[in-house]
Structure 1
Amino acid sequence: MSTPTNTAEFLEELNGGAFASQVGHALSEVAAGVVDHGKAGKVTIILDFSRVGESSQVKIKHKLEYKAPTKRGTRSENTSLDTPMHVGSGGKLSLFPEKHDQLFTREEAPVHPRS
């Protein structure tokens, strides 16, 4: 069985790390609002996947929404961007394609050296 996608690496790769930073900001804003005002808050992450042509790549639309409680209501924000990623064996996501071992040994190479 192949190794699944590393969640921390995946989040760091979305939008060059900016998405992970935005999630961290949202988590802190909501947590602080919940503690300061005693009301519930919410952070929502939505990931929509679509295939890029006939390739083994997907376009991931990552959307972040949050509502942080305030003294008299809530403060909300949302952001949405796309990041293309490669899909490797077992569905593992990465910014870069998987490295494959050399297909042929010297003896099996389809082009033989001149003698």
Structure 2
Amino acid sequence: MSTPTDTTEFLNELNGGAFASQIGYAISEVASGVVEHGKAGKLVITLDMRQIGDSHMVKIKHKLDYKVPTKRGTRSENTALDTPMNVGSGGQVTLFAEAPHPGQLFERNETPIKPRT
């Protein structure tokens, strides 16, 4: 059974939060142009995913492409970058890998420092 990815957290993790800011800016630019010039605008977000090797990671190519209506036509801009993300149990996509158990970073036999005896 799939576990849904937290969309807000996911978008804020792409490119360290810069992608979410770019989306917000583009929405404002397109909406302003639409209202000011009475013409349609367009904003397209594309997410392409590819597995990284044989790991539980994917490389997400995130692309933002938008067209702002102007008085005599349109003004367009696009940007595309990649962000590696982890795919956890149930398919949840996050920036950081899941811990083996809640609150635990390593399995007991994998701890970097052995306890004194």
TM range (shorter): 0.7 to 0.9
Give the aligned partner of residue 85 of structure 1. Answer: 85
* Distance in structure 2 (CA, Å) of the matches to 1:78 and 1:44: 9
* Distance in structure 2 (CA, Å) of the matches to 1:61 and 1:92: 17
Matches within 5 A, 1:1-115: 1=1, 3-101=3-101
Cα deviation for residue 2 of structure 1 reads: 5.3
Deviating beyond 4 angstroms after TM superposition, the runs of 4 or more aligned structure 1 residues are none
Letter in 1 for 2:90: G
Q: What percentage of aligned pairs have identical amino acids?
A: 70
Structure 1 SS opposite 2:84: strand
Normalising by structure 2, we get a TM-score of 0.85
Cα deviation for residue 16 of structure 1 reads: 0.1
* Distance in structure 1 (CA, Å) of the matches to 2:55 and 2:16: 22
- Stretches of structure 1 that go unaligned for 5 or more consecutive residues are 105-113
Cα deviation for residue 90 of structure 1 reads: 1.3
Cα deviation for residue 99 of structure 1 reads: 1.3
What RMSD in Å do the two structures reach over aligned CA positions?
A: 1.6
- Stretches of structure 2 that go unaligned for 5 or more consecutive residues are 109-116
CA deviations over 1:35-70 (Å, ceiling 9, x no partner): 000000000000000000000000000000000100
Bigger Rg, which one = 1
Letter in 2 for 1:41: G
Quick check: 2:3–2:91 contact (8 Å CA) kept in 1?
A: no
Structure 2 SS opposite 1:55: coil
Instruction: Give the count of matched residue pairs.
Output: 105
* Distance in structure 1 (CA, Å) of the matches to 2:3 and 2:47: 21
